[in-house]
Copies of this chain bind each other. A is one copy, B any other.
Amino acid sequence: MGKLQNLISIHDLDRETIDLILRTAEGMEKAAIERSQDLRSKIMAALFFEASTRTRLSFESAMLRLGGSVLGFADVTTTSAGVKGETLADTIRTVERYADIIVIRHPLDGSARVAAEFAEIPVINAGSGAEEHPTQALLDLYSIKKQKGTIDGLSISLCGDLRYGRTVHSLGIALGYYDVSITLAAPPSLRMQPAIVNVMKNAGIKVEEVDTVDDAVATADVVYMTRIQKERFPDVREYTAVQGKFRIGSEEVAKMKDDAIILHPLPRVDELDAAVDSTPQAKYFDQVYNGVITRMAILKLMLG
C-alpha cells in the first residue's frame, strides 16, 4: 500500500489508512501469540539517537514475533554519528544498505522526515523532537478501539502536560478523524497549543478545556493521563500547586464510570497512583502490549 511507504507524522495519515492499520492490528493478535513467520529473514534497523527502552523493545518484540531480525544501536555515543560528526543523511544512506526498514528515534524535530527523504527503504518515526510520535498515537487508538469496541461516539479526556507531551499532540490530531468529544485538562501553563486545538475543532470535534483532572473524569469513557514534569515549571511552587490537581488515585477512579478506561503512555511517576493498577479501569499495561500488536501491523503493512 503506497500510502504507507513511510510513517513519519500522524498528519500524513488519512482516516482510511488509520482504519487499515487498526484492522490489520486486530489480525495480529493471533500472530503475536503464535509467532508468525511473515517477515522471516527481513531486517529492521533500530536507530535510537535518544534513550528509550519502551519504544525500542516494543518495536524489537514486534519484529521478532513476525520472524524478523533486528540490528542497530541504543546509544548514540557508540556510533560514528556521535563520534565522528557524520550527517544524518549519510548515516541513513549507509544503514539502508544493512536493513529492509529503518525505525528512528531522534531528539530533533524533523529528523525522521529527513531520514525518509534520503532513504530508499521505508522509515518509521519512533519519536522525533517534541512534536511527533505517530506509532504511539496509533497504539492509543488501537487500545481505545480494542477496549471500547469503537472510537466513534466516545467522550475522551486528555490530562496532564498537554503542551510538551508529544503523545497527546499526535493522539489529538488522530482523534480529529473520529466522531468524539474531547475534554482537555491541563494546568494553565501546560495547555495544549491553540493550533492543535483548532485542528480538532475544525475537524468538527467538540472540545472543552478544564483546569483539573476532577473536572475531566466523571463523564469520560477514556481518561488519557500523562506525566507533568517538574522541569517544565520555572518556579517550583507553581509545580507543587498544580501537582495535586493532576493526579489519579483511588478517589478519582471512584468518580469514573464503571466501564471507563485509563490509559497512560508510561513511564509514570506520581500522577497515577499504584493503587489504581488493580482497578478494572486500569488499562495502561495492556496498552503496552497493544503497542507490540500495533507495531506488528505497521511493520507487516510496510514490509509484507
Contact = CB atoms under 8 A, between A and B. Distances in A.
Interface stretch (A73-81, A175-183, A187-195): A73-81
Contacts of A257: none
Contacts of A288: 93-94, 97-98
A70 interface: yes
Interface string A46-58: 0010011110011
A129 interface: no
B72 A57 contact: yes
A75 B79 CA distance: 10
Contacts of A292: 97-98
A266 B92 CA distance: 13
A29 B70 CA distance: 21
A98 B43 contact: no
Interface in A65-102: 65, 67, 69-75, 77-86, 89-91, 93-95, 97-99
Nearest to A86: B267
Interface in A261-285: 266-269, 274, 285
Most B CB within 10 A of own CB, among A60, A78, A274: A78
B267 A97 contact: no
